[in-house]
């Protein structure tokens, strides 16, 4: 029997090492054997438990809550899949509104259509973080959309004033006609600008890749 601390050869019935005073346990191998056993032993198997990524909900409840979540970041693939799901839901609900026009269900489906704006915004916010796009562009873009719609409504109203004050028959003043056409064209341009702003945002989020480096939100999904 050997001392596990200093390797001193001891009698079989020894309780303490006569050289260093170490307490002896039965059948203690010498330190050389311990070191050799540690070197020859295979490394312990590490259980690689991959935590479920943020963009991989499992249950139906988690999938629904995932669409309304604003924190974190999501990959481009996850954004595209969920964007198409929400878009399909919007199309179905819009058709339901048209089919049930004038009924109580029409109001319910219309509310659901408005509710689908939240998942689009939540997905867009997380995808913007992933692509490195400043979130400040959201209120700026929304403000521009509101301004364009206000201006479009203003010019449409001016066009209607001219149209209502024009006789159904008879000659129309050329300047008045040109003015009405100008109002209508301006309103259409503002309306198109308000429509293209979300399309440009969505296109950028569908195209831009994820930033590889880690940011304050977290690592790349």
Has residue 87 been placed in a domain? yes
Has residue 157 been placed in a domain? yes
The domain in which residue 23 lies consists of 1-34
- Render pLDDT for 2-20 as a digit per residue (tens, 0 to 9): 777 777 777 777 777 777 7
Has residue 182 been placed in a domain? yes
Count of domains observed in the chain:
3
Same structural domain, 139 and 209: yes
Give the C-alpha distances (Å, rounded to integers) separating 6 from 16, 29, 30, 33, 40. 12, 11, 8, 12, 21
Has residue 45 been placed in a domain? no
pTM for the whole structure: 0.59
Task: Determine the Cα–Cα distance for residues 56 and 69; give it in Å rounded to an integer.
Answer: 13
pLDDT at 20: 78
- Render pLDDT for 85-132 as a digit per residue (tens, 0 to 9): 998 998 898 888 888 887 788 888 888 888 888 998 999 999 999 998
Has residue 44 been placed in a domain? no
Same structural domain, 150 and 170: yes
Same structural domain, 114 and 179: no
């Amino acid at each position: 029997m050997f001392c596990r601390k200093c390797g001193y050869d001891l009698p079989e019935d020894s309780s303490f090492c006569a050289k260093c005073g170490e307490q002896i346990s039965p059948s203690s191998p010498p330190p050389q054997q311990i070191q050799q056993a540690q070197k020859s032993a295979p490394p312990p198997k590490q259980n690689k438990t991959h935590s479920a990524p943020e963009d991989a909900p499992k249950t139906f409840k988690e999938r629904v809550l995932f669409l309304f979540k604003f924190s974190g970041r999501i990959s481009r693939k996850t954004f595209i899949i969920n964007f198409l799901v929400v878009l399909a839901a919007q199309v179905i609900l819009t058709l339901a509104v048209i089919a049930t026009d004038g009924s109580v269900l029409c109001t319910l489906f219309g509310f659901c259509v408005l509710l689908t704006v939240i998942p689009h915004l939540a997905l867009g916010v997380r995808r913007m973080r992933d692509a490195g796009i400043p979130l400040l562009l959201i209120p700026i873009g929304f403000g521009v959309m509101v301004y364009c719609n206000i201006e479009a409504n203003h010019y449409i109203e001016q066009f209607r004033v001219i149209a209502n004050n024009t006789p159904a028959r008879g000659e129309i003043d050329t300047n008045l006609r040109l003015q009405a056409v100008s109002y209508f064209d301006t309103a259409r341009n503002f309306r198109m600008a308000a429509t293209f702003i979300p399309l440009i945002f969505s296109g950028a989020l569908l195209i831009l890749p994820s930033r590889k480096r880690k940011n304050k939100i977290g690592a790349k999904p």
